[in-house]
Structure 1
């Protein structure tokens, strides 16, 4: 679908506070994961949570989440499990009381960000929003199997739709369930990119662009493919 609001902002943040795992949650997750061969969470060292990342962005001067009164809709997205259960969606709602709607999207692997953008477009249309913010998040200490080949990193990519500022382009976004191979996806995204934010952080370096920019990512687990076409401002 063509999003009703143009892309007016795109930024990456990677400085977030880290601390040790809480003793009670470390014991809980250790006991829960033992039968599946999962290591104790504390073995990974210091960690952050998605809720703490949201609080950090909210308090960061100049970040779109800091400009609460100008935003009507906020959507979060992340691919991996939280290091500790932290409920980032409710935390976001509690810290942004002026926002009309805030929620999170997950469990679609690297396609989660595409789904968040598509839903943001649906809600922005229904709510007749003038400005929406989509925040994609990864962290480097998710609870995963020891042989998980994914390279994780703690970072957030924030996309601003509408509001003040020059347009970086118009987005056509879709999520479909189909079977494709890695060779079909392309997108110029290295295999080491963090699943939710990697593709979008690379996109930030390519915009604004004089020509269309296409981004396609496939998740073999959910068998979903996310596609985004960025059309330059001024083009139909």
Structure 2
């Protein structure tokens, strides 16, 4: 890993009327409120467009990125499909796709799958973006704290290495006793990581999704100890 940054300033807007009607009808049988009842929001596609336009952000450096992986805890409340939006805005990227529906483990899965693709494609540089939004459609009893923010990790490319990532996702795992939940789910475990890197000792990030019974673990070995 050669870079990591956090972003939390994104424009907000009302739900689009046609998608609000669609998802309201879809969620009615499950007792879910209309998306518009949650107020203004930012879609994952909106977030991708914002990050792409930020000078200095890894997605802004189009010529240097060969692979982009997006990761978010669940499906966007609007049908905005962020990966195709990103592909259209980064025509030079060889592959861009998203990993979702694994709750707090989505980021770990994105890094694991992204690393496998980067190796198979022999990429010099890959970017993994973990995203949360503060207006998801969830059940009323969901007590997760949500926020709109992104954590971007750069794998390879130019720049001094921050450390080597050893990422694993274990299916059918039991939750480790005492493991705190990530809030918001995708970025929660990673949000303060830039403050701890570069590090002298190994840094370990963990996450667990009780719905899929998947556990994620990422060990960051300092560059000088590899």
Q: TM-score range by the shorter chain?
A: over 0.9
C-alpha deviations, 1:101-127, integer Å up to 9, x for none? 111111111101111111111111111
SS in 2 for 1:86: coil
Gaps of 5+ in 2: none
Q: How does 1:1-236 map to 2 (within 5 A)?
A: 7-183=1-177, 186=179, 191=181, 193-236=183-226
Which whole-Å CA distance do the structure 2 matches of 1:192 and 1:140 have between them?
14
TM-score by length of 2: 0.96
Which whole-Å CA distance do the structure 1 matches of 2:192 and 2:183 have between them?
9
C-alpha deviations, 1:119-138, integer Å up to 9, x for none? 11111111111111000100
Which whole-Å CA distance do the structure 1 matches of 2:93 and 2:127 have between them?
10
Contact kept, 8 Å, 1:41 with 1:83, in 2: the verdict is yes
Change in CA separation of 1:192 and 1:160 when aligned onto 2, cut-off 3 Å: closer
Give every structure 1 segment of 4 or more consecutive aligned residues whose post-TM-superposition deviation is greater than 6 Å.
none
C-alpha deviations, 1:208-231, integer Å up to 9, x for none? 110011112111100001110000
Q: CA deviation at 1:234?
A: 2.0
Compute the RMSD of aligned alpha carbons: 1.2
Q: CA deviation at 1:202?
A: 2.1
Which whole-Å CA distance do the structure 1 matches of 2:42 and 2:104 have between them?
20
TM-score by length of 1: 0.92
Gaps of 5+ in 1: 1-6
